[in-house]
């Protein structure tokens, strides 16, 4: 039976990682993989997380099973950061831990489907796994344009999608630091989005995977909070893998906001059942480390400092690229200064991307997506010169 399987195309980014690893040039630049890097090109463990992990080693007295909802202390400790310090939402919200933001997105889509949702609107381009998850769960996907050529969000395309949506549709939006474009909606646009959702009464699924990597923890979820303040119900998928640097530990959370608090037990029982059938329980370690950080004032302060350093560094790289707008005309590097998070899309042709790789040792996804954290003071001038060369 297994010989009936058809080969799947390998992950293009993994192929890129391999090519980069095999390139002997010392000044090669990796802008492919989506992880944060320091000015030295490292992706270190946060100091706050290291300290929390040490405490866990010293004090954890059991690794016995938790439930499908995972570490509820972790899930509740995150809530004020996402939803606001005093956001009780009249008891209409409950959350659970998931294996990464991926698990949370999967659960959101599966729960929407279980509730009768048949179709999900997705702005494109998007994180490639969104479309794969939608397909695998078995909901229909309809797409709309996320960004305009000028490097700003295409709000009309989204409002049009919401306007045309059927009652059983959901719309999946990135909460901040859009992957792959870096293009986020403005505060005013989020107001419009919130109103459109409220008018239409359809379900928003909000994917927050880069909280704190844009302008700040409060600023980055201001749009999400605007939507949640207006809509009767919503689902939020959250990742701690970037903002706590926990990538391989797979740390995520999934929050359900119900029309009425009395609906929550039924909704969460469905989410638990879906989790049980998928992964049974989330891995504990990373969530426990985040909980340990957030329950300790000193570790929280350290985490906020480390996250602040990351954010400031990425803003500096973006400002440097934006200032080089004239050096590579046609790429609209100026727009990168106003965009957020790890990623940006450069309108480069396949040929130009190949030349950047072959002639200059600059590695980026075939879509033109770059990880701005792959750039630092040392290699940014070389990158800008390479862009100037392939676009001249
Ligand atoms: N949503 C988006 C938009 C992402 O870019 C990612 C990861 N890169 C995720 C969700 C999932 O993150 P995680 O690694 O926590 O599963």
- Percent of the chain exceeding pLDDT 90 equals 95
DSSP state of 202: P
Helix (H) or strand (E) holding 286: helix 285-294
SS3 314: helix
The pLDDT value recorded for residue 10 is: 79
Q: What residues line ligand 1, using a CB cutoff of 6 Å?
A: 34, 100-102, 105, 127, 174, 179, 207, 209, 239, 241, 252
pLDDT, averaged per 10 consecutive residues of the chain (392 residues), comes to 92 88 96 94 97 98 96 98 89 97 98 97 97 97 97 98 96 98 98 97 97 98 97 98 98 97 97 97 98 98 98 97 95 97 97 97 96 96 97 92
Cβ contacts of 188 within 8 Å, gap of 6 or more: none
Distance 195 CA to ligand 1 centre (A): 27
Substitution candidate for ligand 1 out of 107, 239, 341, 369 with most atoms within 8 A of CB? 239
Give the C-alpha distances (Å, rounded to integers) separating 392 from 103, 201, 283, 328.
Answer: 44, 50, 50, 7
The pLDDT value recorded for residue 245 is: 98
Q: What is the pLDDT of residues 316-346, one digit of tens each?
A: 999 999 999 999 999 999 999 999 999 999 9
Which domains, from first to last, does the chain contain? 10-44+311-391 (3.90.1150.10), 65-295 (3.40.640.10)
ipTM: 0.99
């Amino acid at each position: 039976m297994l010989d009936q399987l058809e080969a799947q195309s390998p992950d293009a980014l993994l192929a890129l990682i391999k090519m980069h690893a095999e390139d002997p040039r010392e000044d090669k630049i990796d802008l492919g993989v989506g992880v944060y890097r320091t000015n030295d090109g490292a992706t270190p463990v946060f100091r706050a997380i290291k300290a929390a992990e040490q405490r866990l080693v010293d004090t954890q007295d059991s690794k016995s099973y938790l439930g499908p909802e995972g570490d509820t202390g972790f899930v509740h400790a995150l809530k004020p950061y996402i939803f606001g310090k005093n956001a009780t939402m009249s008891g209409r919200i409950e959350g659970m831990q998931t294996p990464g933001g991926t698990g949370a997105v999967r659960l959101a889509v599966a729960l929407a489907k279980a509730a009768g949702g048949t179709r999900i609107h997705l702005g494109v381009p998007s994180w490639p796994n969104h479309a794969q998850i939608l397909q695998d769960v078995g909901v229909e996907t309809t797409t709309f344009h996320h960004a305009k050529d000028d490097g700003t969000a295409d709000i009309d395309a989204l409002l049009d999608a919401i306007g045309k949506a059927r009652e059983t549709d959901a719309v999946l939006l990135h909460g901040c630091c859009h992957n792959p474009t870096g293009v986020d909606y403005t505060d005013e646009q989020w107001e419009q989005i919130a109103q459109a959702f409220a008018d239409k009464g359809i379900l928003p699924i909000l994917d927050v995977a880069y909280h704190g990597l844009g302008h700040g923890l409060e600023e980055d979820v201001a749009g999400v909070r605007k939507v949640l303040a207006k809509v009767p119900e919503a689902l939020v998928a959250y990742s701690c893998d970037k903002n706590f640097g926990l990538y391989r530990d797979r740390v995520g959370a999934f929050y359900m906001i119900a029309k009425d608090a009395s609906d929550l037990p039924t909704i969460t029982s469905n989410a638990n059942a879906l989790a049980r059938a998928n992964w049974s329980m989330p891995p504990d370690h990373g969530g426990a480390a985040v909980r340990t950080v957030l329950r300790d004032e000193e570790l929280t302060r350290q985490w906020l400092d480390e996250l602040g350093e990351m954010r400031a560094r990425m803003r500096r790289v973006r400002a440097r690229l934006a200032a080089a707008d004239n050096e590579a005309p046609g790429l609209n590097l100026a727009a990168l200064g106003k965009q957020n998070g790890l990623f940006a899309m450069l309108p480069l042709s396949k040929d130009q991307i190949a030349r950047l790789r072959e002639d200059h040792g600059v590695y980026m996804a075939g879509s033109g997506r770059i990880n701005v954290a792959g750039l630092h003071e040392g290699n940014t001038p070389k990158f800008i010169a390479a862009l100037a060369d392939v676009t001249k």
